[in-house]
């Protein structure tokens, strides 16, 4: 099987797009030029035939890897019985182009290396037209398919065999070889190679400078910093849009149908990412995203979507890619996301909280920004009582999810706060009336006195991990007896081998076949809720266990399968990393 375990992948990125490279030196996923463009390497969801780019020893080898400092440059070391070799993989920040540079260095002895380059357009479906030509007197292999042009450069280029390009060569201690892949539109002249050392070093230095701003006093600072770097690499630098993950259809249930495309900007995930970045001291990024938001949701508030593409476009129709067998045979492989048309009433609450957090961190608010927020909250005031699909995007009948109702409360609460603190104009009395009404409604209909817990929705006694957010957004004190009861019920019903499920799939609430694994963001929310409840030792213990789940280069998927000890779902996922950061800062504040 071409595919590696999910945790065996590492992320490369240039903040326009991202690649996943395995411990076997194979880049199995790369969408060019943007996160949500079609993949040219799609072996992650199929076989090597669907596109990959690999350097590795021919003989048996062991792998160790690390990111260079706090950068996204990855150094992989292969050790064989005859010697060792490192590969430094980096994606320099491009301007209208995208590049992957792979710098090979012989460290000890001599190692026979294999090189395999298989390019496929349209997610592994289309063989491009591949030819050799000279650019600036150097030989280049060029692959062209429709709008895409890819050029492979290097000191020795592989040979065409069976619709792939292959080579073998020896690397001895002290040898250095640099290969590069460049993408530009097919109608543009190929630019010069970018594979020079100063540029790689500049890319690394820039990241070191960026991360040095992260405060020192957080537990597991190295893991927190890697999470922040990961969130940064899920942010599209030109537009400020933040993707939920750079992959599609890594399964929540191996062999099952719970496979979704996360290469889009959810208002919820992006708002929470912004809060995490602000908590880490990165206010500039918050400004970039705030401007993205203003552009994306500009227009009639009634047309607000729960997600957009990274440039703020509205169309992301869901369809299946039937030519791909899927990761571990998990089908269908989906691109686009049907949840775009859902009603998720929590979203405006998350947006208003993020904008509040950004303002408090010193980000200036313009009257234009306020007018937009006021229009959105005013619109909510006309339909705040309606049921929705909830934050888990449940594809069934609309319900009154307690978490959604609380986030409706939060939207009004933060709007009122902004108006009172900054003297902004709004229908203050009406907003206060609704805020208080929705709070009273949640306390009456979203709380089950018999079980002493808040419930998943108004017509059930089931619980849901999203209830842990209630004290975190200020709806209720963390040590209120109703919240202590909710934490106890969530722990009782949803802990699986010490990690938290979102909800019990057996209840049938999501209408999908199969099961899912503990959802890492929910487990980090439990850490934060335990801090708020004053159970600091428990919070630290859980945080230590969760942090131990990161892979060898500090990355987390959406879910974790504690039985088989493997990651599940899209990877790396912003939700997991942002809740890790938030939990770390809450622990730091409480210590």
Helix axes 367-383, 347-360, angle to 10 degrees: 150
Q: Provide the sign of the torsion angle of the four alpha carbons 485, 490, 492, 493, taken in this order.
A: positive
Q: Alpha-carbon distance 72 to 365, whole Å? A: 32
261 token code pair: 């495309």
User: CB-wise, 116 or 269, nearer to ligand LLGJG24Q?
Assistant: 269
Q: What HEC string does 485-512 produce? A: HHHHHHHHHHEECCEECCCCHHHCCCCC
**Nearest distance in Å: CB 337, ligand LLGJG24Q:** 5
Query: Residue 301 carries which DSSP code?
Result: G
258 vs 290, beta carbon nearer ligand LLGJG24Q: 258
Q: Which is nearer to ligand LLGJG24Q, 150 or 509 (CB)?
A: 509
| In the complex, least distance from residue 332 CB atom to ligand LLGJG24Q, rounded to whole angstroms | 13
Closer to ligand LLGJG24Q by Cβ: residue 539 or 549: 549
Which CA distances in Å does 125 have to 27, 29, 40, 45, 321?
17, 14, 9, 12, 9
Minimum Å gap between C-beta 459 and ligand LLGJG24Q is 20
Q: Which contiguous run of DSSP H or E holds residue 151? A: strand 148-153
Residues that bind ligand LLGJG24Q (CB under 6 A): 244, 260, 262, 266, 268-269, 337, 339, 391-393, 395, 575
| DSSP codes of every residue in 57-115 | ESS--EEEEEESTTSS-EEEEEE-SSEEEEEEEE-PPPSS-EEEEEEEEEEEEEEEEEE
Q: Which is nearer to ligand LLGJG24Q, 78 or 260 (CB)?
A: 260
Residue 283's H or E segment, with its range, is helix 283-296
Distance CA(202)–CA(206), nearest Å, equals 6
Return the number of the residue (3 or 271) whose C-beta is nearest ligand LLGJG24Q.
271
Between CA 200 and CA 524 the distance in angstroms is 35
Nearer to ligand LLGJG24Q, 260 or 560 (CB): 260
Question: Smallest Cα–Cα separation from 521: which of 563, 557, 567?
Answer: 557
Q: Three-class SS of residue 581? A: helix
> At closest approach, how far in Å is the CB of 344 from ligand LLGJG24Q?
8
Nearest distance from C-beta of residue 268 to ligand LLGJG24Q, angstroms: 5
User: Residue 258 CB, nearest distance to ligand LLGJG24Q (Å)?
Assistant: 6
Task: Tell me which DSSP letter residue 571 carries.
Answer: S
Nearer to ligand LLGJG24Q, 163 or 395 (CB): 395
Whole-number minimum distance, CB 561 to ligand LLGJG24Q, in Å?
16
* DSSP class of 36: T
The CB-of-559 to ligand LLGJG24Q minimum distance in angstroms stands at 10
Output Rg (C-alpha) for the chain, integer angstroms: 24
Are 177 and 155 spatial neighbours (Cβ–Cβ below 8 Å)?
yes
Report in angstroms how near the CB of residue 457 gets to ligand LLGJG24Q at its nearest. Answer: 15
Q: Which residue lies nearer to ligand LLGJG24Q by CB, 116 or 393?
A: 393
Specify whether the CB–CB gap between 567 and 561 falls below 8 A. yes
Q: Rounded to whole angstroms, how far apart are CA atoms 562 and 565? A: 5
Residue 231 C-beta: closest distance to ligand LLGJG24Q, Å = 13
Q: Which residues of 432-460 are buried (b: 16+ CB within 10 A; e: fewer)?
A: bebbeebbebbeeebbbeebebbbbbbeb
Q: In angstroms, what is the minimal distance from the CB of 518 to ligand LLGJG24Q?
A: 13
Specify whether the CB–CB gap between 523 and 495 falls below 8 A: no
Task: Quote the longest CA-to-CA distance of the chain.
Answer: 79
CA distance 203 to 433: 52
Task: Write out the H or E segment, with its range, that includes residue 533.
Answer: helix 520-533
Least distance (Å) between residue 498 CB and ligand LLGJG24Q: 22
Nearer CB in complex with ligand LLGJG24Q: 40/509 = 509
Least distance in angstroms from the C-beta of 585 to ligand LLGJG24Q: 21
As a whole number of angstroms, the distance between CA 249 and CA 333 comes to 5
Residue with smaller CB distance to ligand LLGJG24Q, 360 or 395:
395
β-bridge mates for residue 261, sequence order: 248
Is the Cβ of residue 2 or residue 410 nearer to ligand LLGJG24Q in the bound state? 410
| Beta pairing partners, 149 | 144, 184
Please identify, using beta-carbon distances, which residue of 314 and 422 lies nearer to ligand LLGJG24Q. Answer: 314
285/464 with CB nearer ligand LLGJG24Q: 464
């Amino acid at each position: 099987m071409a595919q590696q375990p999910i945790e065996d992948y590492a992320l490369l990125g240039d903040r326009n797009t991202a690649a996943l490279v395995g411990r076997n030196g194979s880049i199995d996923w790369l969408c060019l030029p943007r996160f949500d463009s079609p993949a040219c390497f799609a072996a992650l969801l199929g076989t090597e035939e669907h596109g990959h780019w690999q350097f590795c020893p021919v003989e048996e080898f062991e792998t160790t890897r690390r990111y260079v400092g706090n950068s996204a440059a990855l150094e992989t070391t292969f050790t064989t019985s005859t010697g060792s070799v490192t590969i430094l993989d980096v994606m320099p920040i491009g301007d209208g182009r995208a590049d992957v540079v792979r710098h090979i260095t012989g460290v000890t002895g001599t190692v026979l290396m294999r090189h395999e380059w298989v390019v496929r357009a349209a997610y592994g479906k289309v063989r491009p037209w591949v030819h050799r030509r000279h650019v600036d007197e150097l030989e280049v292999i060029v692959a062209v398919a429709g709008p895409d042009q890819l050029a492979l450069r290097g000191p020795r280029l592989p040979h065409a065999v069976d619709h792939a390009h292959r080579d073998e060569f020896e690397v001895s201690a002290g040898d250095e070889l640099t290969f590069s892949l460049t993408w530009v539109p097919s109608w543009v002249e190929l630019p010069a190679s970018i594979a020079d050392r100063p540029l790689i070093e500049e890319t690394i230095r820039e990241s070191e400078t960026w991360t040095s701003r992260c405060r020192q006093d957080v537990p597991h600072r190295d893991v927190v910093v890697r999470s922040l770097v990961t969130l940064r690499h899920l942010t599209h630098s030109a537009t400020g849009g933040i993707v939920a993950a750079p992959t599609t259809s890594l399964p929540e249930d191996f062999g099952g149908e719970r496979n979704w495309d996360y290469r889009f900007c959810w208002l919820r995930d992006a708002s929470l990412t912004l809060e995490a970045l602000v908590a880490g001291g990165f206010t500039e990024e918050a400004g970039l995203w705030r401007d993205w938001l203003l552009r994306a949701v500009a227009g009639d508030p009634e047309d607000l979507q729960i997600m957009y593409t990274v440039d703020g476009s509205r169309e992301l129709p869901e369809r299946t890619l039937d030519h791909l067998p899927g990761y571990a045979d998990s089908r269908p492989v989906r691109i686009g996301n049907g949840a775009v048309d859902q009603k998720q009433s929590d979203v405006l609450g998350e947006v208003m909280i993020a904008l509040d957090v950004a303002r408090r961190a010193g980000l200036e608010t313009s009257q234009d920004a306020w007018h937009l927020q006021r229009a959105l909250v005013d619109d909510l005031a006309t339909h705040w009582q309606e049921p929705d699909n909830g934050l888990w995007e449940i594809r069934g009948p609309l319900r009154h999810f307690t978490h959604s109702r609380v986030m409706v409360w939060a939207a009004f609460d933060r709007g009122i706060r902004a108006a009172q603190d900054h003297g902004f104009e709004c229908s203050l009395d009406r907003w206060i009336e609704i805020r208080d009404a929705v709070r009273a409604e949640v306390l009456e209909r979203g709380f089950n006195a018999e079980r002493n817990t808040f419930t998943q929705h108004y017509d059930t006694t089931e619980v849901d991990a999203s209830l842990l957010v209630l004290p975190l957004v200020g709806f209720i004190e963390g040590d209120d007896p109703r919240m202590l009861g909710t934490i106890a019920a969530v722990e009782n019903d949803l802990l699986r081998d010490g990690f938290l499920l979102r909800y019990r799939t057996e209840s049938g609430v999501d209408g999908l076949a199969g099961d899912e694994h503990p959802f890492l963001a929910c487990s980090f929310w439990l850490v934060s809720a335990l801090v708020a409840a004053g159970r600091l030792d428990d919070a630290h213990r859980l945080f230590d266990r969760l942090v131990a789940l990161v892979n060898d280069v500090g990355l987390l998927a959406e879910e974790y399968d504690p039985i088989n000890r493997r990651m599940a779902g899209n990877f790396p996922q912003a939700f997991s990393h942002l809740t890790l950061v938030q939990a770390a800062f809450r622990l730091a504040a409480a210590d």
